[in-house]
Amino acid sequence: MEKLFLFSAMMCLLLVSCQYPDDDVDMPEPEPEKPVSERILGTWINTRTTFIELNSTGKPLNKFIHDHPYSYPRGYFYSIDSNYVTTFYSLDNQDEMQESVGYTLTESKGKTYIGEETFIGTTVYEITILTDSTMKWVMNDSLAALSDAYDKGSYPDGVNLIEDFIKYKR
């Protein structure tokens, strides 16, 4: 009789302890993704520039990779605020070989473009990757043709240009 009572008590305890999840529990909503205009802000280290030379049919012919060495405090830095992209080569002396240019961000058909307004004209890149820690800009023939700088001979026909960045963290 004692075993029957113990078994009944355990079954009641099991049934009472099982419950459906409470649908009234407030689950935290994921943070909405910040716009590109906010995520691009900060100091970035340009780690690599890749030139891909294309043949007349648009197939890759040659690939030239230029790794930018980074050794604190020297490197190839892009400091981006809400109005300007400033490039410099030393965190200790930001006036050394510094250039500041305006920029614009444009979104079209799910793609984001950055236009750097340099002294020879606007240079347009597609931002293909933008996370909290990495960024990639790509210029292909069609974007080069949109760039004012293209008309001045800065970007030869049949060359794709890729710029890789990592976010600088102090």
79: in domain: yes
132: in domain: yes
Please give the model's pTM, rounded to 2 decimal places.
0.72
What is the residue type of 43?
T
21: in domain: no
Which two structure tokens, joined as six digits, stand for 37? 């205009």
Structure confidence at residue 120 (pLDDT): 75
- C-beta of residue 123 within 8 angstroms of C-beta of residue 130: no
pLDDT per residue over 38-58, tens digit each? 999 999 999 998 988 877 777
Determine what percent of the chain is predicted with pLDDT higher than 90.
25
Any idea how long the chain is?
170
Flag whether pLDDT at 117 surpasses 80. Answer: yes
17: in domain: no
Across the range 99-112, mean pLDDT stands at 91
**If pLDDT is split at 50, 70 and 90, which confidence band does 20 have?**
low
Mean of per-residue pLDDT scores for the chain: 79
Please tell me the total count of domains within the chain: 1
Q: Report phi then psi at 134, rounded to 5.
A: -135, 155
Q: What angle do CA 2, 14, 23 make, to 5 degrees?
A: 160
Query: 46: domain range?
Result: 36-167
16: in domain: no
85: in domain: yes
Q: Name the helix (H) or strand (E) containing 61.
A: strand 60-67
Separation between Cα atoms, residue 2 and residue 87, nearest integer Å:
83
- C-beta of residue 168 within 8 angstroms of C-beta of residue 45: yes
**CATH code at position 96:** 2.40.128
Q: Report phi then psi at 72, rounded to 5.
A: -45, 130
Q: Report phi then psi at 159, rounded to 5.
A: -125, 125
